[in-house]
Amino acid sequence: MGLRIQNNIAAMNAHRNLTVSDTRLSKSLEKLSSGYRVNNAADDAAGLAISQRFRAQIASLKVAQRNVSEANAMLQVAEGGMDKIGEILTRMKELATQAASGNVGEDIGKLANEYDSLIQEIDRIADSTKYANKVLLDGTYNGGNTSSSWNTISNIYDISFANAATGAYTVAYSAGADALTLTNPAGSVSETVELPTGAGTVNFSTLGISFKTTAAVTDPDTLGTALAGAAPTVAEGSEAAFQVGYSEAGYDQI
């Protein structure tokens, strides 16, 4: 018995057209739901590569916008701390002016006590003004080199290691001459400076290290011994950089 194959051409054409229509409908729904003209490489390979780059840039810019808002908030916190310190400095100037007058008499001790308390309050504000657990006013963001070993020593302030070489320094003090000697990490350069009695500036200009002393320094030996017992180790400092764009270029950072 012979074998005969019959084809329903009309039904096959209808099925093919239905399949094509269904595929187009699926693509249209995909574009409508995603909002993108190009969703995969089959739509437009070159267009997909370009769109992915734009999407990444847009996402980065959204994060950069949030960075700007957070940076602004951080600066507002720092500004608040600086405003308080400014008010305290104004009061300290008032006290200094009042103490310089000859009619103060026995009350000068009270003025000195308040002055010392204000110094401590400035230190407290500098140490406690934080944003995201980062201390803002303690000199960490100075862009230069830093060391914390002398920060706890009484009656010195405005300590600068900004231009100093990194590494461990050697400190020696000669009580007879009130002389503080500092030697660089390589041991190749030593510099000696006489410590002042009262307020003054100690500047190791060759080594790039300096600090100031308060009027409370009545015995240089006490200060010199404390400095020699806390030899500084200088490390590279850090500074705050804010990413405000999608690239690593300088114009996208402040």
123 and 158 co-located in one domain: no
Q: Where are the alpha helices (DSSP H) in 100-213?
A: 108-128
125 and 86 co-located in one domain: yes
Query: How far is C-alpha 87 from the chain's CA centre?
Result: 24
Residues composing the chain: 254
Residue 114 within a domain: yes
Domain end among 97, 120, 138: 138
Q: What is the model's pLDDT at position 169?
A: 92
154 and 132 co-located in one domain: no
Distances in whole angstroms, Cα of residue 72 to Cα of each of 42, 78, 238, 239: 44, 10, 19, 16
Judged by DSSP in three states, 61 sits in: helix
Stretches in the chain below the pLDDT threshold 50:
none
Q: What is the model's pLDDT at position 200?
A: 92
Q: What is the model's pLDDT at position 34?
A: 74
164 and 233 co-located in one domain: yes
Q: What is the model's pLDDT at position 220?
A: 92
Q: Rounded CA gap, 98 and 12, in Å?
A: 106
Residue 249 within a domain: no
Q: What is the model's pLDDT at position 181?
A: 94
Q: What is the pTM of this model?
A: 0.48
Distances in whole angstroms, Cα of residue 125 to Cα of each of 18, 150, 159: 75, 18, 17
Residue 96 within a domain: yes
Q: What is the model's pLDDT at position 146?
A: 61
88 and 172 co-located in one domain: no
Domain assignment of residue 232, given as a range: 139-239
Q: Which residues pair with 194 in a beta bridge?
A: 179
Residue 13 within a domain: no
CB 213 within 8 A of CB 195: yes
216 and 166 co-located in one domain: yes
**Into how many domains does the chain fold?**
2
111 and 153 co-located in one domain: no
Q: Rounded CA gap, 127 and 130, in Å?
A: 8
- State the residue for tokens 């080199």: 145
125 and 203 co-located in one domain: no
Q: What is the model's pLDDT at position 238?
A: 57
Domain end among 117, 138, 159: 138
Residue 2 within a domain: no
Residue 192 within a domain: yes
Positions of E strands within the chain: 130-131, 134-135, 156-160, 167-168, 170-174, 179-183, 190-194, 200-204, 209-213, 233-234
Domain end among 88, 108, 138: 138
